[in-house]
Amino acid sequence: MREELEHQPSDADNEQEIDLLELARKLWDSRRLILKVMGIGLVVGLIVAFSIPKEYTTTIKLAPEFADGSKTTGSLGALASMAGLSTGASGAEAVQPMLYPDIVSSVPFTVGLFDVPVTYDKEQIPTTVRKFIEEETSAPWWSAVIGLPGTVIGGIKSILVSEDEVAPSDTINMFNLSKEEDDIVTALTERVSADVDTKTSIITLTVTMQDPMVSAMLADTVAERLKAYVTSYRTNKAREDLKYAKMLNDEAQKDYYEAQQRYADYMDKNQGIVLRSGRTEQERLQNESALAFNLYNTTSQRLQAAKAKVQEITPVYTVLQPATVPLRPSKPSKALILVGFIFLAAVGASAWILFGRDIVHNFKHPEAKA
């Protein structure tokens, strides 16, 4: 008897089941409204999907190598570093890949991309990255509507400001960028990015533009300039040492040639000399020439070692995935946009049927609720 009472459904369970059935009945009775709203969502989704300009993405993957020729050791190298062990790579190289995203997004690096020559469209029209961003990059129509007040205010300000106060310049002052230059820097920073895999240290460069050829050409330029920047950064000390070694070698060479010439001139003028003072001068000049030669020989060896050092620490990059012209746009995803708008329309219509309609009715007719 007790077990039958325990298994007997309570009134709360019955009420909850009735409420769920009532909600389902409401949705079923208003299915035509839901379908209409979903149709509206489909139309709005189509408008939005076809209003967003196509974007093309080019991806380049690079694998940096250590100075000794071995590739990055990834997580194993990180564990070895934590244990205080050496993996054969220099500390600068081990940390350097983590700086690549910051280098690519820095203002000097981004400004350096302004004048990169590119071609766009099927006619291969030549232009620069800056002009392409300013003149050939479009935005959805609602961006112009949202930005209309700011455009109007900017136009009024430009009219009120006299021409004498405007000082256009062909050079870019990175310390004080103009609004147009800052907008281009922001746009490029959003479109050009670098990512480093912490396990494999593989560098992934991604460039997204509204033309496939521009995307591929800019990605290739970014990769080359990043490699040049890192090479210059890592070899800066070695190149300064090479410059100093070459200066010492040139001075030693000059001193050796002069000492050798003085000794030769003295020997030509004093052949067959028998005086002790003459022989002493001869020995002195000969010793000076020998010392100058030894110094010249030493600086020459150091110069060759400095050249070898520059070559040794110059980073090497293996291109795992080169730049190729993308054939299909990477975004927008029209199917995803349509599904999202249809889903939101269905959820909104269901919420209106289940809750919104009753809330509005009770708000308009409070006496009916009482």
Helix (H) or strand (E) holding 316: strand 316-321
pTM: 0.70
- Is the pLDDT confidence value at 6 over 60? no
Alpha carbons 175 and 316: distance in angstroms, whole number = 33
Burial of 217 (0-12, 13-18, 19+ CB in 10 A): buried
Highest mean pLDDT among 15-24, 144-153, 325-334: 325-334
123 or 163: which leads in pLDDT: 123
- Is the pLDDT confidence value at 364 over 80? no
Which has the minimum average pLDDT: 2-6, 216-220, 224-228? 2-6
* Average pLDDT rounded to a whole number, residues 131-136: 90
Place of tokens 């002195």: 284
User: pLDDT tens-digit profile of 266-312?
Assistant: 888 777 666 667 678 888 888 988 999 999 999 999 999 999 998 88
Question: Diameter of the chain by CA atoms?
Answer: 143
Residue spans per domain, the chain: 54-235+314-334, 239-313
DSSP code of residue 85: -
Helix (H) or strand (E) holding 314: none
Highest mean pLDDT among 162-166, 191-195, 234-238, 280-284: 191-195
73 or 283: which leads in pLDDT: 283
How far is Cα of residue 74 from the mean position of the Cα atoms in its chain? Answer: 21
The DSSP annotation for 258-277 comes to HHHHHHHHHHHHSTT---HH
The DSSP annotation for 168-196 comes to --SS--TTS--HHHHHHHHHHHHHEEEEE
Nearest to 354 by CA among 18, 16, 15, 29: 29
When pLDDT is cut at 50, 70 and 90, the band that residue 193 belongs to is: very high
Question: Mean pLDDT of all residues in the chain?
Answer: 80
- Is the pLDDT confidence value at 252 over 80? yes
